[in-house]
């Protein structure tokens, strides 16, 4: 059964503004940590996988929605999962939940495009990526149900 990949991280001094509230740009750091560890858990560590498949996965879109601001030293669970896989691109979805109360702090996504390393032109995502990411591929509703996040308005 697919599951989101979850990392645990604390809000650090470098993540907050003068008021001690997380700075919006800090979410990119959390998303990148979760993305890197998701790929590692899937057997696709960035340190070797790009050489193996002769591709890169540049981000072409980063989006974040904010719900409840974490503060300095808050303990966060950052979940990452594959929400969509196309021919040359994929969308990694993220959910950020404060521990231990389960407050849904933010969500977002990144769109990655597979490009060949020589010409940097879009190319099909290698089948090995798709296969190895299958345990982490799901809908937003499935991921949120697993994480205990209620849909807004529910």
**Domain-wise residue ranges, the chain:** 5-147
C-alpha radius of gyration, the chain, whole number: 16
% helix / strand / coil in the chain, to the nearest 5?
30, 35, 35
Q: 11-58: per-residue pLDDT in tens?
A: 999 999 999 999 999 999 999 999 999 999 999 999 999 999 999 999
DSSP string, 53-122: HTEE--EEEEEEEESS--BTT-EEEEEEEEEEE-SSEEEEEEEEEEETT--EEEEEEEEEE-EETTT--B
To the question of domain 5-147 being in CATH 3.90.660.10, the answer is no
| Tokens linked to 66 | 């904010």
Mean of the per-residue pLDDT values of the chain: 95
What's the pLDDT band for 136 if we cut at 50, 70, 90?
very high
Residue 133 β-bridge partners: none
Residue in this structure with the two tokens 């498949």, named with its chain if needed: 53
pLDDT of amino acid 151: 73
């Amino acid at each position: 059964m697919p599951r989101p990949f979850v990392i645990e991280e604390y809000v650090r001094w470098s993540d907050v503004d003068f008021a001690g509230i997380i700075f919006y740009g800090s979410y990119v750091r959390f998303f990148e940590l979760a993305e890197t560890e998701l790929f590692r858990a899937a057997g696709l560590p960035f340190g070797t996988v790009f050489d193996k498949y002769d591709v890169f996965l540049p981000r072409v879109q980063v989006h974040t929605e904010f719900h409840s601001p974490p503060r300095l030293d808050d303990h966060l669970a950052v979940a990452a999962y594959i929400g969509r896989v196309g021919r040359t691109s994929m969308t990694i979805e993220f959910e950020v939940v404060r521990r231990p109360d389960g407050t849904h702090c933010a969500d977002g996504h990144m769109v990655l495009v597979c490009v060949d390393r020589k010409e940097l032109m879009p190319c099909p995502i290698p089948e090995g990526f798709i296969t190895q990411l299958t345990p982490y591929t799901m809908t937003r509703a499935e991921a949120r149900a697993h994480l205990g996040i209620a849909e807004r308005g529910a």
